[in-house]
Amino acid sequence: MAAPAAATVAAAAAAGGHRFDFDVIVVSAGIMGSCPRRLPGRAVPADGARPPPLGGRRGRVRAPRPHPDAAALPGPAQRCLGPRRRRERRRGGGGRPGRQVGRRVPGPRWVGGRRSERGSGVLNATEAVRMFQALAPKKGAVVRDNAEVVGIRKGPEGGVVVETSTGEEFSGAKCVVTVGAWTSKLVKSVAGVDFPIQPLHTMFLYWRIKPGRERELTVEAGFPTFSSYCAPHFVYSTPSLERPGMIKINYHGGPPCDPDSRDLVSGDGDGVERVARWIDEFMPGRVETAGGPADRLPCMYSMTPDEDFVIDFLGGKFGEDVVIGAGFSGHGFKMGPAVGSILAEMAMDGEARTAAEAGVELGHFRINRFDGNPMGNAKDL
């Protein structure tokens, strides 16, 4: 940890009379914090390692399903899905393409508003994060687990000083903050700023497939990854994959919660009942709903009012020394590699070449879109 910063930044720092433990300190190591892998020099992703039920990332499979607003990010989506699929195939990982809805979709009477597009599919979330964390040290990063960050302040010689709950302090020229559902709390405590990012309590729901119907709901049988976003239904699913004889069918959203004190057992409102009603209406005879899901795992969304991400400098006294990546609103996982590159470039270069090359206007993701406009980006879903 005491090793000097990499030559590129150390040279620049020496010229200015500055010296930091690290070029960039990344708080934390969820998917977004694990992906700024292109950081040159020494970076330290530190993660508070909240017990899994408290964290946002949970469960094995994420669906790179198209979000209704995905058109806003065409470049990153392509960057993200292409390389990861290739890498996972090489590693024998779980990137498995879904199928377009069509004749091969068995049985269900699909609702209007469902989406299942060519290119959607499933990936192994746990393996993806593990892979990026394994790659980070090869790029010179030092990973600190169980390091809950309780303070970020301006350094005496510029940059930032990051303080953990055990009293350790690290100085960095720059800092990237990606703390998921804890963003509003941390930003408020270090900068006194209110971010409109609301933690929502949500669930992974695993439903038992009725005997004899198991094969119908698999990738091999052509069952798709799909979203059914058509009020009052906000339901999505992946093919039966993770657990034999079960299928994951979830609702998008959930009640507001405090990430540090939520009711893990019954805090999800009527979400389970709504999914059960949807299953009975649109997949009759295939999935067991009497008695509820076979298993449920609590999880959290970090929701913005317009469900668009926040990718911005913190500003104020921190200026461009602290970069925030947050508010991924339940559809961020697939964007991890692209967002990670953008966050890394903002920290190192002050601007994101990746976004510019992809034709993505980052103004769409600035926090000031909510100034005098609580709903943020206009939507026509």
Ligand X SMILES: Cc1cc2nc3c(=O)[nH]c(=O)nc-3n(C[C@H](O)[C@H](O)[C@H](O)COP(=O)(O)OP(=O)(O)OC[C@H]3O[C@@H](n4cnc5c(N)ncnc54)[C@H](O)[C@@H]3O)c2cc1C
Handedness of CA 154, 157, 158, 161 (dihedral sign): negative
| Site track 86-115 with ligand X (rule: CB under 6 A), x = hit | ------------------------------
CB of 251 to ligand X, least distance (A): 9
Our CA dihedral for 97, 100, 101, 106, rounded to 10 degrees, sits at -50
Query: Which segment (55-63, 209-217, 344-352, 369-377) binds ligand X by CB under 6 A?
Result: 55-63
Distances (CA, A) of 56 to 33, 274, 326: 13, 22, 12
Partners of residue 19 on adjacent β-strands: none
CB of 379 to ligand X, least distance (A): 18
Which residue of the chain is nearest ligand X when measured via CB?
30
Q: Pick the binder of ligand X from 22, 132, 170, 182 (CB under 6 A).
A: 182
Asked if 149 interacts with ligand X (CB under 6 A), we say yes
The three-state secondary structure class of 284 is: coil
Asked if 55 interacts with ligand X (CB under 6 A), we say yes
CA 362 to CA 355: how far, in whole Å?
Answer: 7
Asked if 299 interacts with ligand X (CB under 6 A), we say yes
Asked if 49 interacts with ligand X (CB under 6 A), we say yes
Q: Which two tokens stand for residue 37?
A: 């892998």
Asked if 116 interacts with ligand X (CB under 6 A), we say no
Asked if 65 interacts with ligand X (CB under 6 A), we say yes
Candidates 122, 121, 143, 117; CA nearest to 132 is: 143
CA triplet 153, 158, 159: central angle to 5 degrees?
A: 60
Q: Pick the binder of ligand X from 116, 124, 178, 289 (CB under 6 A).
A: 178
Q: Which is nearer to ligand X, 10 or 190 (CB)?
A: 190
Q: Which is nearer to ligand X, 13 or 131 (CB)?
A: 131
Asked if 148 interacts with ligand X (CB under 6 A), we say yes
Q: Pick the binder of ligand X from 18, 37, 62, 369 (CB under 6 A).
A: 62
Candidates 127, 109, 69; CA nearest to 281 is: 109
CB of 14 to ligand X, least distance (A): 30
Query: Which segment (52-60, 68-76, 152-160, 354-362) binds ligand X by CB under 6 A?
Result: 52-60
Q: Pick the binder of ligand X from 300, 310, 314, 352 (CB under 6 A).
A: 300
Asked if 264 interacts with ligand X (CB under 6 A), we say no
Q: Which is nearer to ligand X, 207 or 328 (CB)?
A: 328
Asked if 226 interacts with ligand X (CB under 6 A), we say no
CB of 264 to ligand X, least distance (A): 13
Task: Please return the burial class of 285, using the count of CB atoms within 10 Å of its CB with bins 0-12, 13-18 and 19+.
Answer: exposed
> Under rule CB under 6 A, which residues in 5-34 are in contact with ligand X?
27-28, 30-33
Q: Pick the binder of ligand X from 21, 23, 47, 321 (CB under 6 A).
A: 47
Question: For residues 202 and 83, is the Cβ–Cβ distance under 8 A?
Answer: no
Query: Which segment (18-26, 136-144, 179-187, 310-318) binds ligand X by CB under 6 A?
Result: 179-187
CA 138 to CA 87: how far, in whole Å?
Answer: 16
Distances (CA, A) of 344 to 101, 313, 353: 37, 12, 10
Strand 322-326 and strand 169-177: the pairing is: parallel
Asked if 121 interacts with ligand X (CB under 6 A), we say no
Q: Which two tokens stand for residue 5?
A: 């910063």
Distances (CA, A) of 287 to 69, 106, 152, 303: 30, 13, 49, 30
Strand 246-251 and strand 22-27: the pairing is: unpaired
Q: Pick the binder of ligand X from 330, 337, 340, 376 (CB under 6 A).
A: 330
Residues touching ligand X, count (CB under 6 A): 37
Asked if 204 interacts with ligand X (CB under 6 A), we say yes
Q: Which two tokens stand for residue 300?
A: 């959290």
Q: Please report, as ranges, the residues that interact with ligand X according to CB under 6 A.
A: 27-28, 30-33, 46-50, 55-57, 62-63, 65, 148-149, 178-182, 186, 202, 204, 250, 299-301, 328, 330-334
